[in-house]
Amino acid sequence: MESSALLFNQLKAADPFFLLAGPNVIESEEHIFRMAKHIKTIAAKVGLPLVFKSSFDKANRTSSKSFRGPGMVEGLKILEKVKLAYDIPIVTDVHETIQCEAVGRVADIIQIPAFLCRQTDLLVAAAKTGKIVNIKKGQFCAPSVMVNSTEKIRLAGNPNVMVCERGTMFGYNDLIVDPRNFEWMREANSPVVADVTHALQQPAGRKLDGGGVASGGLRELIPCIARTAVAVGVDGIFMEVHDDPLNAPVDGPTQWPLRNLEELLEELVAIARVSKGKQHLNIDLTPFRD
């Protein structure tokens, strides 16, 4: 818990924000090492604290035919190797209570998927590992739900919890990002993270040749959402990054190209430094007098 509290405090104090970034899913050990090397170099160059992200199992894919990853045992081995090799903290997600203990031995941040943000047993199991817990707000939830979800973590004895906005359902196959949520989610008294890539998903919105559907996305709007988030004053940016997005096996349409990462982060840092989004503006409603 002590090391988690130290990292948690470092992330909270990040100026202007911290970065959770990496490929959506572990494709191979070689790919993870290559991505970690480049993303760490870029994050250091622009001056952002980095937590490297990748998933060992994408359990909530649209189709049963979709690539899911290497599984927990092999995936955690790879994540532990990259953590030690590049001396970077790791964030990865869990889907079942039984996964939390093993994941907590490797990951520095345990991520709760949006679909599971209200699952009490899962939240408590993640909390009891003592690791930082990042709860993604469900696409079907009001921001106020995050107050209850974070309370579950704290009542389980873990004060190190953050909340993440990743969009709200807008019809059947689309998401929108309501910038007001970045402010309202502060009521959870936790660092607020903006997932600027999943927020541009179009769930089950892409028809496949031969039948079936997959998630589409609006990659070109990632900078728009990211600029908005840092201007409002979020504490962290979450983004999935890939060196070959068009051939990524999972969520290719919403992964940001590695070759454009430095350019985008430099702009976001510049916006965040001139914004006063983290400062409370006192509104004076007394009558104006000449």
The yes-or-no answer on residue 58 being catalytic is: yes
Selected catalytic residue, list 24, 134, 158, 181: 24
**What b/e string do you get for 103-115 counting C-beta neighbours within 10 Å, with b at 16 or more?**
bbebbbbbbbbbe
Cα torsion angle, 112, 177, 205, 169, sign:
positive
What are the angstrom distances between the C-alpha of 103 and each of 20, 87, 143, 152?
A: 17, 18, 27, 19
Q: Residue 186 and residue 183: Cα distance in Å, rounded? A: 6
Selected catalytic residue, list 93, 108, 195, 251: 251
Cα torsion angle, 78, 84, 85, 87, sign:
positive
Three-state DSSP at 160 gives: coil
The answer to whether 236 touches 20, Cβ cutoff 8 Å, is: yes
Angle at CA of residue 195, ends 146 and 272, nearest 5°:
100
Dihedral of the alpha carbons of 215, 220, 226, 228, in degrees to the nearest 10: -110
The answer to whether 241 touches 27, Cβ cutoff 8 Å, is: no
Selected catalytic residue, list 58, 136, 137, 152: 58
The yes-or-no answer on residue 121 being catalytic is: no
Q: Is the peptide bond preceding residue 16 cis, with omega within 30 degrees of 0?
A: yes
The yes-or-no answer on residue 235 being catalytic is: no
Q: Which segments of 99-221 does DSSP mark as H helices, in order?
A: 100-104, 120-127, 145-155, 180-184
Closest CA to 117 of 150, 157, 155, 90: 150
Catalytic residue numbers, as ranges: 24, 58, 251
